[in-house]
Amino acid sequence: MDLERAEREFAEARAACEQDPTSEVKLIVLRAASRRLETALELARLDALAAAGPDAPALARAVTRSQRGSLPALIILVRHGESEGNADHTLYRSKPDNLIELTDEGSAQARDAGRRVRAIVGPRRCAFVVSPFERTLQTARNLRLAFDTGQITRASIEPLIREQEFGNLQGDDFERFRREQQRVGRFWYRFPTGESGADVYSRTRAWWDGDVLRINTRPGVAPVDALIVVTHGLTIRLILMQLFGWSPNTFGAVWNADHCDCYVLRRDDASPGVSPYRLDDELGDAPRSSINLGVTFNDGAPPQTLLLNDYLSVPAPRTTNAELVKQLLAAQHGLDATTIDQIDFFAGRAGYGAGVPPPRKYR
């Protein structure tokens, strides 16, 4: 089937469903259009791979544009509500992490978040993807209470977006492991019998590439305009890391979301790449970030390590924007920006000051 025709029929069928979301006939037509579009996309992809002539790059770009256009308008990342483990950190010694439940406060937070998410998505058709841990399942159940009957077209449990595996927490060594993690770094440190942040990054990237980017091109499955993802604080940070290309150093500067915070990803077709999303901090929450920077001065003052708040506001690649960082440091710490000589973006990296010298080569 011609790709442009399949794309046009899919867009028309989706628009018809949006105008009359209760029509089963229009939903059936939309599912059929979705199947035809996926078939056309796959045929176009195979043609592009097989073609050796000058038209192959243009065809490949057309396939990418069509895939981008089929993505949900909104993806909302929601952290679970307050859990028993958040209220009592010793509970992990006696109860498996995956069975930790919400507190009463956490359930109330989830119900409030549900009303907030429903207001953001409006009447759009939605899908839920939920971590299999008990606290995320309970959060999702409370979120769903705010939605209209039939608005959530499907919900799935996805182990790839579960919490980081911390290993066996029944012993007395966990605090020692945490101290080691602070020295090595949360992205790199792997807990004995558990995972590192890098391990979680790999599986969240696999989930995004394999499921999110294909969510609306599966045969026989009705497309959705909003995807609500209920997961964990670290997992959300790593989803954003793979989406926006953060370095491990930038990842370490980003704080965990608060309980039931909502990060809204809005599709922006003007953005580059296969995942054209940007954070909309007017509709949702904005990730907080801060980083310790090494600062030397040209006026004879001793070097200092200074905390820079809102590090994510610095455009990427952040280490090339030293002049802007000087201005921000000056504003936050009451300094004269002209007296700042050099910025070491890695001065706060785990290990510094703990017997681990900084790299000797230029960075």
Phi, psi (deg, nearest 5) at residue 345: -70, -15
| 38 has catalytic annotation | no
Task: Identify whether the C-beta of residue 216 lies closer than 8 Å to the C-beta of residue 64.
Answer: no
C-alpha separations of 174 from 38, 179, 189, 193, 306 in Å: 48, 9, 13, 12, 30
Residue 158 gets which letter from DSSP?
-
- Max CA separation in the chain (angstroms): 76
Residue 28's alpha-carbon distances to 16, 21, 31, 92, in angstroms, are: 11, 11, 5, 47
80 has catalytic annotation: yes
For residue 228, give the 3-state DSSP assignment: strand
227's CB contacts (< 8 A; 6+ apart) are: 72, 74, 75, 76, 126, 127, 128, 129, 212, 215
Name the catalytic one among 9, 38, 80, 158: 80
Of the candidates 9, 38, 158, 163, the residue annotated as catalytic is 163
Tell me the residue length of the chain. 363
- DSSP state at residue 292: E
The conformation of residue 362, written as its DSSP 8-state character, comes to: -
Residue 112, Cβ neighbours under 10 Å: how many? 15
Q: How far apart are CA 37 and CA 17, in angstroms?
A: 16
Strand 126-130 with 226-231, pairing:
parallel
Where in the sequence numbering do the catalytic residues fall? Answer: 80, 163
